[in-house]
Every structure is written in structure tokens, then in C-alpha cells.
Chain A
């Protein structure tokens, strides 16, 4: 390993091999129980590239020595995508965060934080179409690599639909991909290439006007027309977040609100759109997520008895469940059960990462991965490949 480190240190300015740095860069938001920690392998080092050339150099060394690379943004996902399960080089993109705005498009480097991008765009009269609810910390590359939906997805769809093109690095070099090819990168957790930058589609920075409406979930669906962003919060979660103790629908519009509702509460809910973690203020919670079609979403929700947020998107409904932790393992099983119930209603897990590659969401990309990365050095054991964690979850699924 010494020669790998030596070579990396010659090619890249920022390399750290400190044992405790390696401990920190072996984990992400996912809480790993003590008995499973043995499946986590500390990286041999962490690198923070500042240019395409440095990324190229890391990949060259990775291939030369057969040592995997694990790309990392802010590590704010709970799917274990940035967890290191083999000795590897962690490629932390937070030093690549340039934002360039041209016309109504922005070319943004992988490590830029979503909220920083939004603030910069706002200075130019522009705004992001979609961004994650973890925008104060989450990075552009991180969210694209996970895929999914967020603020604004009701009008504009998922992140995949709001990218013009991506620049990605693999063992053959750097390439620009767009259109149908994006599916080989969005949601694949960097298993087919490292995302360097994205050209994002934007909207004009029209003022967002929000209203909150007390209503049940089924009726909420009929009220979504014309809204930019729509979220249903059940009364249990509303209470945890400090809103009224009632089932609430938040509707946010680009421009004047088109529906009648409580503007003060709507504005408060909108201002707090990044504050879902507040649900864990009083008591630790475990998060669980599932995506359901609109048709079966009401029936799914009626079977769920935990605090829930439902994000309405152009394509489907994303449910985020909050399971208060008494016993961690029981809560984890409940989280798995949440997804299993969703599957019964025609739904699926939200993302793959390290936890759910066995769900087959990314199976379509298996042959692409093999062609690009035959030795499985790009974030191995994630998205398209199984690992010890996913096998344990598969077992647990049989129990629940």
C-alpha cells in the first residue's frame, strides 16, 4: 500500500492517510450497528482532487494497483453509498465546487453544495428547478449519484430529468454524457464512473408562494395541479416538526398561490423544508423511504402507522417514514417492513446504494458496468453488486 500512497502523493496535492481521518471517511449518514461494523473496511487514504487531472491520476493509480475508488460528496445519504466495504481510495469531491452560469444553464462541479448553487443562481435571477431536502449540506455529485426526487419535483420531475449533460471520469478518460445515456450514471452511486460536473437545467427565480391546507392524503392528490412543490405531512410528523397537529398539505407555487390555504403556516413549512432532521430532536429516529404510484399511494399510507412525509412528484409519490428508536434493531426491521409493504402496493425502495442492490433497480446497468469497469474498482459492492450488508437485509426481509 505504501507505493500506492507514494504515487498518489506525487500526483495529488491533498492526500490524507491519518488513521482517524480514514475512520471518518469510511462512513456516511447511515448508522451501522456495532456487530455489522466488521464489514466496514477503512480506506487506505482519502484524496481530495481539485481538478480533472487529479481525478484522472487517481483512476490511473487505482487501475494500476487494482485498488477500488469510492467517490464521496457530503456523505448525507443513508443508503451507505459512501461507506467503504473494501480497502480503497476515498475520492472526496468537496474541493471541486466551481459554479459557472451561462444563459439559463449552470455547469456545476460535483462537490458544490446545492444550497450554495441556489444562492449563486439567485444572484443572477435564476434558480434550481429541483434540489434535495438535504441541500444545506448535500453536494451536486452526491445527489445525482443517488438519484431521486426533491424540492420542485412535482413540477420538474426527478434530478435525472433536470440534467442537460454530465461529465464523468472512468478508466478510459473523461466523457460527456447526455440524453438516454444519463441513466447509466444517475442513481448508480458512482459505480460506472465518477461524476465530475453537471450541466443543470434552471428556472427563473420567481418568488415561491406557499399555502398549507388541512386535508387528508387522498384529497391532497386532487389539489396538486399547478403547484411547483407539494408535500403531505401526517399529523404525527407535523407534531414532531412543530407544526399544527393535523394532516397537512404544503403547496408551493412559482408566483401567486393558486389555492386557498394558511399562508403563514405554508410559508413556515416552506422555510423549514430542509429541517426534516428536526424530527429527531426529542428522540432518535430511523428513516425509511419508498416510492409508490399515485394509484396505490393512499392505500399504502392507510396501512402505515408512523410519522410520514409524502413528497408528490411528476411521476409518483415518495414516502419518507420516521421510526422513533426504542430498540435500534426493531426500528431497523420496521424500516425494512415499510419498504416491503410499499412493494406489495406496487412500490419500490427509493434508492439502491449499499443497502438495496438486491432489489434489482439498477440491474439494467449490469452489463454497462462490466464493460466500463471489468475489475469492479468503481465503488464495488454498491447499486449493481451485492455485499454483506445487502445479504443481511435480504435475510431480514424474510423475517419481516
Chain B
């Protein structure tokens, strides 16, 4: 990617100032437009970027809303990731917390300091070899194990023959790709990919949109760079549930709304599958004002939550408030990272809305 060539395309129209982080921070150095202009000047050798501005460049959840609204079609998601990589190479990043998470992941193969040996402990069933792998991801393995259990149960109920990698599952590297730290991702890729090859994996199902994006979009690129053939189909759980799920009607009288995870929606273009499932479940559904391509981010992604928790929780607060405005009692999502962050944000607002994962609801209602 030629950052300079891409930055030159910016018309400075300012439509990207709908960026949730900019709307909170308010300074041009935080706006996508401002960052692009600074990147251009930096790449032209007109300015030097200092630590303050490097930090501002990382004030972004890489949610992709700027890319969505950009009228001249600048591929901004890739642009931010590449720009962050450039800053890492020039020694201005990783920022302190991102660096710490990297160190933890180098040691533990996950950013939660979880014991890798116990990674698959959530599995309450016998693990048998299969060509389909359920890749739970770090958050479901160490923080939201109910999601991992529900997904496995759903796959069982749907008659899908699958296995899990347990201690041989390593962080996919998504948080590090989003924060410009590609070297560790290459290491994680090697660990995961070698195991998949040894185990003869042909298909991966994941319940985490961050993993889904990384395994289906980024891993094939890394494989190509390394001269490997990446011939593995990657699927998110909602696709399976939408395609094969037959459900009993949910016994939920209260209204529910749905939050589009950025990595599933804007990054991967998957908007209708979760809604189809919600419809099949017979849930009284209401959309938030900003939905699908225009959805507000939960605020957690792109390293924002770890490095800039105040901004991240302010975005989370705004999203939960938007959900509450619909009158919904349940906020459904299908991303463990969004679920975790929105739950914490809802907690700060007095738990007036319950954040739930779609897979956890759907699993209970799969018709036998």
C-alpha cells in the first residue's frame, strides 16, 4: 500500500469527522481528515511527527466509519493499520499499553495473561479430531467462556462434526495487526497455521468477529507473503446459525435491539445474517438509529480500550444510550469484545439494558 498516494486522494471534505473519537476529542489531530493531512506532510518530509501526534493517531478504534462515509473511496481501514505500522517502524509506537499487551502475548499467547495450558478448559465435552475447527479466540476462552460453551453446544446440536485446538489455539493477533505490530502476528500465525496443518483442518468456525476478520482477510495475506498455501475456509458462527438453524420461538416478551460489531459489519460486510437469526427467533426487534454500515462502534477495538479507556467508555456509553432510546431491554450483539465492553458500559449506566450474545440466545432455542 502506498500511503502517500492514498493520502493525496483526500479532498478534505470533512465527512469523516463523524468519527466517534473525533466527536469526543474535538481536535483536528484526532480527526481522520487531520490525520491524513499530517500523514501526507510527514511522508512528503515536510513535518516530523512527535509523540503527542503519534498518540492522537492511535485515538481510533479502526471501526471503519470514516471509510464508509468517505466520498472519494479511500481505503481508510488499511490506511490506519499501515500508518500505525509505519509509526512502529519509526519507533514512535507501540504505545505503552499496546507494548505491554504485546509482551504478555509473547509470553502467554493471549493478551489476558491467561494460562495457555488451560486455554481449552471451558470445553465440557470430549475432544475428537475433525476437519472443522472451532476457534474460540482469547476473549471467549478466558473471559466469556459461556460464549465458547454455547457455540460448541450449538454446533453439536446442528450436527456439525468439529474439534477445538485447546492449548494449541493461540491469539489470532487481531489486536496487534490493528495497532501496527505485525511481527508478533507473524509469529502467532506460524503457531496457529502449523497446528492447523498438522491437524488437517479444512474449515474454521469462529464466534469472534475480530478473529473472523483476521483469519479470513489477514491470514491469507500473511500466508502469501510467507509462500504458504492458505486453503482453509473461515466462517463466523452467525453464518452457520443463519444457514442451518431451525429455532423455537424465544420466550422473551421484552424488546431487543442489535449492535453491529465493526469487524463483522464494516470490515466484513455481514449485516443481514444476525438479523435473519433474530427474526427466526421471533424476538420483538427494533433497530437503533445508527445501524448496519452507519452503526456506532462500541468503542473497544483498535487498541482504543486498552490505551485510552476514557474515550472508549464514552463511545460505549453513547452506544448503550442509543440502544436504550429504542426502548429495548436487551442489546444483542455477536462479538465477545463488544459484549464485554458494552456490558461494562451498561453497568456504568445502571444496568437498564442487558447485553447478550446472539449465539447464547440462539443455542438454547435450536429445535432438536
- CB-CB nearest in chain A for B53: A20
Stretch binding the partner chain, chosen from B13-21, B140-148, B228-236, B261-269:
B13-21
Q: Is there contact, CB below 8 Å, between A75 and B53?
A: no
A354 to B108, CA, bound (A): 59
A94 to B26, CA, bound (A): 7
Interface flag for A54 (CB, 8 Å): no
Q: Is there contact, CB below 8 Å, between A21 and B28?
A: yes
Interface flag for A281 (CB, 8 Å): yes
**Secondary structure dominating the interface of A:** loop
Q: Which residues on B sit within 8 Å (CB–CB) of A236?
A: none
- CB-CB nearest in chain A for B17: A137
Interface flag for A134 (CB, 8 Å): yes
Q: Is there contact, CB below 8 Å, between A137 and B14?
A: yes
**Which residue from A74, A136, A276, A281 sits with its C-beta under 8 Å from B73?**
A281
Q: Is there contact, CB below 8 Å, between B18 and A136?
A: yes
A275-B71, A280-B72, A281-B73 are contacts. A20–B49 as well, Cβ < 8 Å? yes
Q: Which residues on A sit within 8 Å (CB–CB) of B28?
A: 21, 24-25
Q: Is there contact, CB below 8 Å, between B38 and A29?
A: no
Q: Is there contact, CB below 8 Å, between B29 and A14?
A: no
Contact code string B20-51 (vs A, CB < 8 Å = 1, else 0): 00000011110000100110010000010110
Interface flag for B128 (CB, 8 Å): no
What's the nearest-Cβ distance from chain A to residue B30, in Å?
10
Interface flag for A10 (CB, 8 Å): no
A276 to B69, CA, bound (A): 12
A221 to B34, CA, bound (A): 41
Q: Which residues on A sit within 8 Å (CB–CB) of B71?
A: 275-278, 280-281
Interface flag for B89 (CB, 8 Å): no
A16 to B25, CA, bound (A): 12
Q: Is there contact, CB below 8 Å, between A20 and B18?
A: no
Q: Is there contact, CB below 8 Å, between A21 and B29?
A: yes
Q: Is there contact, CB below 8 Å, between A136 and B29?
A: no
A268 to B29, CA, bound (A): 34
Q: Which residues on B sit within 8 Å (CB–CB) of A23?
A: 38, 41, 47
Q: Which residues on A sit within 8 Å (CB–CB) of B18?
A: 136-137
A48-B26, A74-B14, A137-B13 are contacts. A24–B72 as well, Cβ < 8 Å? no
Chain A residues numbered 29-46 whose CB sits less than 8 Å from any CB in chain B: 29, 31, 46
**Which residue from A46, A75, A136, A138 sits with its C-beta under 8 Å from B69?**
A136
Q: Is there contact, CB below 8 Å, between A277 and B72?
A: yes
What's the nearest-Cβ distance from chain B to residue A101, in Å?
17
Q: Is there contact, CB below 8 Å, between B72 and A281?
A: yes
**Which residue from A18, A134, A278 sits with its C-beta under 8 Å from B72?**
A278
Contact code string A134-154 (vs B, CB < 8 Å = 1, else 0): 101110000000000000000
Q: Which residues on B sit within 8 Å (CB–CB) of A340?
A: none
A23 to B46, CA, bound (A): 11
Q: Which residues on A sit within 8 Å (CB–CB) of B50?
A: 20
- Of A134, A277, A284, chain B has the most CB atoms within 10 Å of the CB of A277
Q: Which residues on A sit within 8 Å (CB–CB) of B73?
A: 278, 281
Q: Is there contact, CB below 8 Å, between A21 and B27?
A: yes
- Of B11, B26, B29, B41, chain A has the most CB atoms within 10 Å of the CB of B11
Interface flag for B9 (CB, 8 Å): yes
Interface flag for A95 (CB, 8 Å): yes
Q: Is there contact, CB below 8 Å, between B47 and A18?
A: no
Contact code string B64-97 (vs A, CB < 8 Å = 1, else 0): 0000010111000000000000000000000000
Contact code string A193-218 (vs B, CB < 8 Å = 1, else 0): 00000000000000000000000000
Q: Which residues on A sit within 8 Å (CB–CB) of B11?
A: 29, 277, 280
**Which residue from B15, B29, B47 sits with its C-beta under 8 Å from A277?**
B15
What's the nearest-Cβ distance from chain B to residue A272, in Å?
9
A275 to B13, CA, bound (A): 10
What's the nearest-Cβ distance from chain A to residue B136, in Å?
40
Interface flag for B194 (CB, 8 Å): no
A20-B49, A21-B27, A23-B41 are contacts. A76–B13 as well, Cβ < 8 Å? yes
A279 to B18, CA, bound (A): 21
Q: Which residues on B sit within 8 Å (CB–CB) of A25?
A: 28
Interface flag for A309 (CB, 8 Å): no
Q: Is there contact, CB below 8 Å, between B17 and A18?
A: no
What's the nearest-Cβ distance from chain B to residue A154, in Å?
24
Interface flag for B198 (CB, 8 Å): no
- CB-CB nearest in chain A for B12: A29
What's the nearest-Cβ distance from chain A to residue B55, in Å?
11
A29 to B72, CA, bound (A): 14
**Which residue from B13, B15, B53 sits with its C-beta under 8 Å from A18?**
B53
A276 to B14, CA, bound (A): 13
What's the nearest-Cβ distance from chain B to residue A5, in Å?
16
Interface flag for B52 (CB, 8 Å): yes
What's the nearest-Cβ distance from chain A to residue B318, in Å?
14
A305 to B192, CA, bound (A): 59
A136 to B23, CA, bound (A): 13
Chain A residues numbered 147-169 whose CB sits less than 8 Å from any CB in chain B: none
- CB-CB nearest in chain A for B50: A20
Q: Is there contact, CB below 8 Å, between B26 and A24?
A: no
What's the nearest-Cβ distance from chain B to residue A184, in Å?
27
What's the nearest-Cβ distance from chain B to residue A334, in Å?
18
A76-B14, A137-B17 are contacts. A16–B53 as well, Cβ < 8 Å? no
- CB-CB nearest in chain B for A111: B26
**Which residue from B8, B14, B17 sits with its C-beta under 8 Å from A29?**
B14
A251 to B247, CA, bound (A): 47
What's the nearest-Cβ distance from chain A to residue B39, in Å?
11
Chain A residues numbered 237-296 whose CB sits less than 8 Å from any CB in chain B: 274-278, 280-281, 284
Q: Is there contact, CB below 8 Å, between A20 and B14?
A: no
6 pairs of residues in contact across A and B, judged by CB atoms under 8 Å? A20-B29, A20-B49, A24-B28, A48-B27, A137-B14, A277-B11
Further pairs besides A18-B29, A137-B17, A280-B72: 4, Cβ < 8 Å = A28-B12, A137-B18, A275-B71, A277-B13
The interface of chain B, by Cβ under 8 A from chain A, is 8-9, 11-15, 17-18, 26-29, 34, 37-38, 41, 47, 49-50, 52-53, 69, 71-73
The 10 residue pairs across chains A and B that have the minimum distance between CB atoms: A137-B14, A277-B71, A24-B28, A24-B34, A278-B71, A29-B12, A74-B14, A76-B14, A136-B15, A277-B13
